[in-house]
Chains A and B, each alone.
Chain A
């Protein structure tokens, strides 16, 4: 059974960097899957952030490109998110999720999520 678990600081100062890690268990991060980040501002819908493949190939939401870096660490079976120059608009629940590579490419499973607040 594949499980994902997010970790990282719950509070980030404005203009700082938001850094999160997703630990994968029950599957190798080197398997044929895309590893994703999705966020949900309080009371709002889901927003896709970006994803990474085991080779290091990434796809990013165009609205976040320039501030976003997603990386993978095969030695620890984890992948990470770094978002620079954060503002209050980046306050959200952040989820990591697996997206399978074969059609129909859905997200499953999801981590439990971690709330990140941007505030001084």
Chain B
């Protein structure tokens, strides 16, 4: 049902950079809606990681950054750390669904 597509998994060694894509369409990301990212640690609830495409809430390390272009958005994690192993979800809104909320398919980040 998800209209935002993410890779099921990405992995990297400690210190490396990983990038997670979130691909949408002209009805959601391409329509100008903001993209937000949530981190879900194992067994925990999702937590806001990036809001408004590229803004970090207080307390989120600057290793995490977001960007948006056209119908896609990306989350980059630089200087990967073991504690970054988690699921990551993008979120936006969709005009074909009465402007209501849509989530991405979710990506599992594994630190090798």
Q: Which residues of A contact B (CB under 8 A)?
A: 36, 38, 44-48, 51, 59, 61-63, 95, 99, 103-113
Contact = CB atoms under 8 A, between A and B. Distances in A.
Contact of B36 (A38, A104, A112, A113): A104
A45 B104 contact: yes
Interface string B43-72: 011111001110101000000000000000
A107 B37 CA distance: 10
Interface stretch (B13-21, B73-81, B92-100): B92-100
Contacts of B89: 45-46
Enumerate the 4 nearest inter-chain pairs by beta-carbon distance, A residue then B residue, closest first. A104-B52, A45-B106, A48-B101, A104-B34
Interface hub of A46, A47, A104 (most chain B Cβ within 10 A): A46
Given A104-B51, A111-B45, A48 B102 contact: yes
Nearest to A34: B101
Nearest to B102: A48
A40 to B, nearest CB: 8
Contact of A103 (B34, B44, B98, B101): B34
B108 to A, nearest CB: 10
Band of interface residues on B: 20 to 34
Given A46-B103, A48-B102, A107 B45 contact: no
A13 B89 CA distance: 30
A108 B47 CA distance: 7
B45 A95 contact: yes
Interface of B: 1-2, 34, 36, 38, 44-48, 51-53, 55, 57, 89, 91, 93, 97-98, 100-106
A113 B51 CA distance: 21
Interface hub of B1, B53, B93 (most chain A Cβ within 10 A): B1
B46 to A, nearest CB: 5
Contact of B38 (A59, A62, A99, A107): A107
15 contacts: A36-B101, A45-B89, A51-B101, A59-B98, A61-B100, A62-B100, A63-B1, A95-B46, A103-B34, A105-B93, A106-B52, A108-B51, A108-B57, A110-B46, A112-B45
A106 B51 CA distance: 7
B95 to A, nearest CB: 13
